[in-house]
Copies of this chain bind each other. A is one copy, B any other.
């Protein structure tokens, strides 16, 4: 194969600029042909050194630029619904960063629009599904050698939360990754959620309920617990242990060089998710480009994006009420079989 897939990137902020760099220099088989950002100067900086990129302020103008064959959405979450629907209208394959659409009602509209098309166009950016360790864990569970999974113990820690981070965002921004990972690893839907709130850490900003401990039940009788702690101070850590009927499997230990010095044997902990999941992002975008060039859509679907929105919404209500909240998910459209 040698023609390059022409991609329009929507959003030229931190994430968008990183994806532009990735499409230009890391991934094989694609080129950036258009960028949309309300701030055209920022967009221009992001494509500096790349020839022939149409820079536009409006999403629709970028999608209409010459050579656009696919779309990568990296704009802020609230802009995703409109961008997805615009891509659907033009029949363009899309890779959409998470959250697909933050509001479950909007997420449902996207699912319904794609279901009306009768074919999948969207892949949602749950990049953990492309992480080498998560994939090994998924394979292990699918092979069944350890028996049925009974529990997932998850840990999700950040050095510190960005300004404006709210208690609800621990659920709908951070834990949303575990929501998707759990659904994918188990092949089960999450049916109820409870949130426990230890007394907040002195390291958390005033008023932020951090850490939280989130419990999910599934329609397969499994239990998923998640420690989410976004001001742990020491590093970015994502761990997962799947406890099965005849064994357990764990991922997320530190993989850096082991240094013995100053009275200790230590491994560095990454400080940032872009470090921990750098390869996962590369593999995710490469897989999307490869599938798209072959006319296929793979990876997490709009339904997965929608389900994550609904479960996260229930989680936020559980946090607010202190009780157990059942998840109310409509029937899955046939398209997402």
Using Cβ atoms and an 8 Å threshold, which residues of chain B touch A42? none
Q: How far is the CB of A197 from chain B (nearest CB, A)?
A: 8
Using Cβ atoms and an 8 Å threshold, which residues of chain B touch A153? 153, 227
- Once the chains bind, are A229 and B243 in contact (CB under 8 Å)? yes
0/1 string, A1-30, CB within 8 A of B gives 1: 110100000000000000000001111110
> Which positions 145-160 of chain A face chain B at CB distance < 8 Å?
145-148, 150-151, 153
- Once the chains bind, are B235 and A1 in contact (CB under 8 Å)? no
With A28-B26, A198-B222, A223-B198: A260-B234 Cβ-Cβ less than 8 Å: yes
With A1-B51, A234-B247, A265-B267: A198-B257 Cβ-Cβ less than 8 Å: no
Q: How far is the CB of A274 from chain B (nearest CB, A)?
A: 15
Kindly state the separation between the CA atoms of A257 and B141 in the bound complex, as whole angstroms. 11
- Once the chains bind, are B50 and A2 in contact (CB under 8 Å)? yes
The interface-forming segment of A83-91, A92-100, A132-140 is: A132-140
Q: How far is the CB of A106 from chain B (nearest CB, A)?
A: 32
Q: How many copies does the complex hold?
A: 4
Q: How far is the CB of A302 from chain B (nearest CB, A)?
A: 27
Output the residue of A148, A213, A232, A260 with the most chain B CB within 10 A: A260
Using Cβ atoms and an 8 Å threshold, which residues of chain B touch A151? 198, 211, 213, 227
- Once the chains bind, are B247 and A260 in contact (CB under 8 Å)? yes
- Once the chains bind, are B150 and A198 in contact (CB under 8 Å)? yes
Interface: A220 (CB within 8 A): yes
Q: How far is the CB of A333 from chain B (nearest CB, A)?
A: 28
Interface: A259 (CB within 8 A): yes
- Once the chains bind, are A234 and B211 in contact (CB under 8 Å)? no
- Once the chains bind, are A268 and B263 in contact (CB under 8 Å)? yes
- Once the chains bind, are A261 and B248 in contact (CB under 8 Å)? yes
- Choice from B51, B150, B201, B235 contacting A211 with Cβ under 8 Å: B150
Q: How far is the CB of A131 from chain B (nearest CB, A)?
A: 11
Closest residue of chain B to A268 (Cβ to Cβ) is B264
Using Cβ atoms and an 8 Å threshold, which residues of chain B touch A31? 2
Using Cβ atoms and an 8 Å threshold, which residues of chain B touch A260? 234-235, 237, 247-250, 269
Output the residue of A243, A254, A290 with the most chain B CB within 10 A: A243
Kindly state the separation between the CA atoms of A52 and B237 in the bound complex, as whole angstroms. 46
Interface: A166 (CB within 8 A): no
8 tightest A-B CB contacts, nearest first: A199-B221, A247-B261, A266-B266, A264-B266, A198-B223, A201-B245, A250-B258, A136-B257
Listed by A's residue number, 10 A-B pairs whose Cβ atoms lie within 8 Å are: A1-B25, A25-B29, A26-B286, A148-B202, A150-B229, A232-B247, A246-B261, A248-B261, A249-B258, A250-B258
